[in-house]
Structure 1
Amino acid sequence: MSETTLLLAAGAIVFVLGVGVTLTVADLIRRIIALNVASGGVMLILLTLADRGDAPDPVPQALVLTGIVVMAAVTGLALTLARRVENDGDDLEPDEDSEGGVP
């Protein structure tokens, strides 16, 4: 088994584990972490595919760098929203006496 095949298999396993946990766990924080794990698997696959051949392909490497930045921003936003939902309870309906709502 070559190194490329081993890294592709590891990336696929990490991705499947992340997606599987995302679909089976009810806790929002654990789902967010599982999505980060799944995106790490995708990034591992992209980096492995970029390193095949004599010269590495810079396009997948740039995609992975961009994905890291986007993942960090989305994770921060998702954690903030999950914290707000957990603090307010699981009731997503607006309060009757709130002034910011529609009359």
Structure 2
Amino acid sequence: MGSSPLLYAVTGALIFGIGLLASLRDEALLARIIAINISGVGVFLMLVSFAYRGFELAPDPIPHALVLTGIVVAVAASGLALALEKRLAELPKSKTHKEDSP
């Protein structure tokens, strides 16, 4: 096993860590959505690097299929999260309903 799969795995772990740190640090919902997508990219990169089985063998197709499915699910979940974020931004900013109290 060469050093390039290890390099890709370490890079994926770093990207995942950066995304996780940003999602925990930022308070803005849009920034958190983007950070979670970045951490997903790190996981996808690690899965693809784990599929490597050597120079003379073909890579394992199962992790590649999982990554392709994960990309589709991530795009759909991101669209849903952005739609929910837009809907939340349109709501009034009051925290209590004082007009309903006697």
> Fold-level match, TM-score > 0.5?
yes
RMSD (Å) for aligned C-alpha atoms: 2.2
**SS state of the match for residue 85, structure 2?**
helix
Q: 1:32 to 1:11 in 2, by over 3 A?
A: same
Q: Is the 8 A contact 1:14 1:38 kept in 2?
A: yes
Other-structure match for 1:37: 38
* 1:50-82 deviation per Cα after TM superposition (whole angstroms, max 9, x unaligned): 123222101100000000000000000000001
Other-structure match for 1:100: none
**TM-score, normalised on structure 1?**
0.84
Residue ranges of structure 2 left out of the alignment (5+ in a row): none
Segment drifting more, 48-57 vs 34-43: 48-57
Other-structure match for 1:7: 8
Paired residues, number: 96
Residue ranges of structure 1 left out of the alignment (5+ in a row): 98-103
Alignment of 1:84-95 (within 5 A): 84-90=87-93
**SS state of the match for residue 52, structure 1?**
coil
Letter in 1 for 2:65: A
Q: 1:85 to 1:7 in 2, by over 3 A?
A: same
d(CA) in 2 for partners of 1:91, 1:48: 48
Report percent identity of matched pairs. 45
Q: 1:83 to 1:5 in 2, by over 3 A?
A: same
